[in-house]
Structure 1
Amino acid sequence: MHQQSVRHPRGRARRTARRRTNLRSPHRRYRRRATDKSTYIAALACDAGIHLRAGRRPGVSEPTTARKRLLPWLIGAVVVIAYAVAVVLGVFAVNDQPYPENLVPGEQPESVLWVSIEDVHTESRTLDANVTFVAGKDLSDSEGRLKKNLTVDLYPRVRLSEIAFPAGRVPGTVAVELATDGDPASWPFDRYVTEPVYGVVTVEDGAGRSYLSPNTLVTASLSGWRMSARGMPASPDYGTHAQSVTITRSNGTITTGAVLCLLLICVTALGLIVAINTLRGKRPFYPPMVTWFGALVFAVAPLRALLPGTPPPGAWVDRLVVLWVLGGLIVAMAIYVRCWWKAG
């Protein structure tokens, strides 16, 4: 008769405790419940007190709180810098040259023909200017009154006519138009160049007529333009006192035009993003959004009119920006109408 082995009660208790410990182990417990590796890792992390975001791997830390707090400050700094640059460009966009202080009638050793450019007409390629003749000591008295009758011929004028100044009076200011050569269709990089600007003064006295070529001084008071004048070499036609004028758009004008063109492109991009995501089912369809697309289409014309200098119709900005913007918005609106048709 075999002797039956008797297990000690303490050993049975130890085995039971070990079995319970294994069941409580996160590795065993979650391994039974987990259906894939990612769920198992998430369960282990949750048991350890670590909260994982969806799409992030274990060991990749969350963005720090300092970075999150720094982002609004960076955006604010960029906006402030952009605004400061816009203010500076706006201040220097005006090409203002005041009246020369040394031009005093009756005290000039030589006569001066002062031409002040006031406005630019790109379509007609003309300049509005004010002409002032400052007589020298040989042609005027101490108070600036002319001693003799004078006539001034200014070139290159649109309408060729003499400017008469009678004797005994101080010469006044006369408005004239100057002809230029330029291409308005190349906005905002268009430039306008004049032929040599000069004047011929005819002095009438009892003995006959005499001619002289006064010094020519060209200044400008223009908003959104830059003017540069350079002396021309001596020529038998206009002597040694002529100046050639070149007018280009200021940096502020060019920057404003570029920003408005970028805004037009952004409007089209936003419309296409909304329409395409709605068509693919990533975003719900809202019937009132159809009117929003219509508002975007009708907003192109006012934005086009805000372009500084108002480029002529058919310029490169119309062919390369405005027409494509309108086409993109029409396509986006058609896509959204297709979503409306499917929803109905």
Structure 2
Amino acid sequence: MAVGTDLGTSSRWKVAAVVGAVVVCYVAVLLSYASAHSTDEVDTHTPDPGGALVYVDMSSVAGTDFSLDARVSVYPGSELMDNNGHLDRDVVVDLTPMQAENQLEFPAGSAAGPLPATIYADGDARSWPFDRYTAQSVTVRVFGRTDAGQQPIPAVVVVTNSLTGWNVDAGSTEIRDGDEFDVTVSRNTVSKVYDLAICLVLLALPTCALFVAVSTVRRRKKFQPPMVTWFAVMLFAVLPIRNLLPGAPPIGSWVDYTVILWVVMGLVTAMISYVYAWWRDAP
């Protein structure tokens, strides 16, 4: 009786330890996510009366196209607006290096709303989830068009981040027009944890399959014919789970060689082993 009681107590402690570890990991992920989304600072930038404030808001990443999508907004100073608060002249923003050579134009008499822009960025999408992209030597210049011709407008450039799961680093929170700066985007810690968690889910599939297959081959467990379909279902579940990876890494990425390939090989090995057990033991 004492031995059985000790074994039961030991099993309960093991179950409690596993549940506790899962709860701790769950709380840690939630706290990390909350801290990553509670660091927004209050914007205190204001344009000079005769100048402009330009926001370059990073909105999406297209790693396979080597580009960063942004929204460019212009907030003119009081000397550049009419009595209605609209632009009193055409304002042109020259952002380089854009993938299109067109300038961003904000016509007179309108409120300068955001315009889309695509910036060339260097990076390697195949290194997911450790990929990072850098747009080098970015410059922003602002010009005003009047009857007297095109005149430069002094401007302050602010790079902001609307990317979910990414960090954006422009080297400075406030950049003067004409100054060159680099914009680097990289996945934040919470995003990487999520990515690696999905990889662990994938690795769990062949681990379970091989455990069942090896136990059956060694005759520690009895062969069960319906289990063959279980192996097939897990094998076909790999591709849908891979497609859940954030950012949709291209085929041939780092994750395919380090995780996906071995998951598929493990599942196929387990299924072949189980079929061998069937051939050996089935009547």
CA displacement at 1:143 relative to structure 2 = 4.6
Does the CA contact (< 8 Å) of 1:119 and 1:127 recur in 2?
A: yes
Q: Which residue of 1 aligns with 2:67?
A: 126
Of stretches 91-100 and 284-293 in structure 1, the one that deviates more from structure 2 is 91-100
**Residues in 2 aligned to 1:193 and 1:97: alpha-carbon distance in whole angstroms:** 22
Indicate whether 1:207 and 2:145 are aligned: no
Does the CA contact (< 8 Å) of 2:89 and 2:107 recur in 1?
A: yes
Does the CA contact (< 8 Å) of 1:116 and 1:218 recur in 2?
A: yes
Give the secondary structure class of the aligned counterpart of 1:307: coil
**Residues in 2 aligned to 1:148 and 1:277: alpha-carbon distance in whole angstroms:** 79
Q: Which residue of 2 aligns with 1:312?
A: 250
1:144 pairs, out of 72, 81, 85, with: 85
Question: Cα deviation per residue 1:145-193 (whole Å; 9 max; x = unaligned)?
Answer: 2233322211121101122223333322211111111110110011111
TM-score w.r.t. the length of structure 1 is 0.73
**Residues in 2 aligned to 1:164 and 1:96: alpha-carbon distance in whole angstroms:** 33
CA displacement at 1:88 relative to structure 2 = 2.3
Does the CA contact (< 8 Å) of 2:70 and 2:116 recur in 1?
A: yes
Question: Cα deviation per residue 1:182-216 (whole Å; 9 max; x = unaligned)?
Answer: 11011001111112333222223333332245211
CA displacement at 1:69 relative to structure 2 = 5.3
Q: Which residue of 2 aligns with 1:194?
A: 135
2:19 pairs, out of 60, 76, 90, with: 76
Equivalent runs, 1:38-57 vs 2, <5 Å: none
Q: Which residue of 2 aligns with 1:239?
A: 178
* Residues 326/73 of structure 1: CA separation in 2 closer, same or farther (3 Å cut): closer
Q: Which amino acid aligns with 1:309?
A: G
CA displacement at 1:111 relative to structure 2 = 1.4
Q: Which residue of 1 aligns with 2:214?
A: 276
**Residues in 1 aligned to 2:138 and 2:160: alpha-carbon distance in whole angstroms:** 12
CA displacement at 1:287 relative to structure 2 = 1.0
CA displacement at 1:99 relative to structure 2 = 8.2
Structure 2: runs of 5 or more not aligned: none
Question: Cα deviation per residue 1:43-63 (whole Å; 9 max; x = unaligned)?
Answer: xxxxxxxx6869xxxxxxx74
Indicate whether 1:324 and 2:265 are aligned: no
- Percent pairwise identity: 33
Q: Which residue of 2 aligns with 1:8?
A: none
Q: Which residue of 1 aligns with 2:240?
A: 302
Give the secondary structure class of the aligned counterpart of 2:144: strand
Higher relative contact order (CA 8 A, sep 6+): 2
**Residues in 2 aligned to 1:141 and 1:265: alpha-carbon distance in whole angstroms:** 63
**Residues in 2 aligned to 1:123 and 1:290: alpha-carbon distance in whole angstroms:** 39
Aligned residues: 282
* Residues 96/218 of structure 1: CA separation in 2 closer, same or farther (3 Å cut): farther
Q: Which residue of 1 aligns with 2:195?
A: 257
Structure 1: runs of 5 or more not aligned: 1-50, 55-61
Give the secondary structure class of the aligned counterpart of 2:64: coil
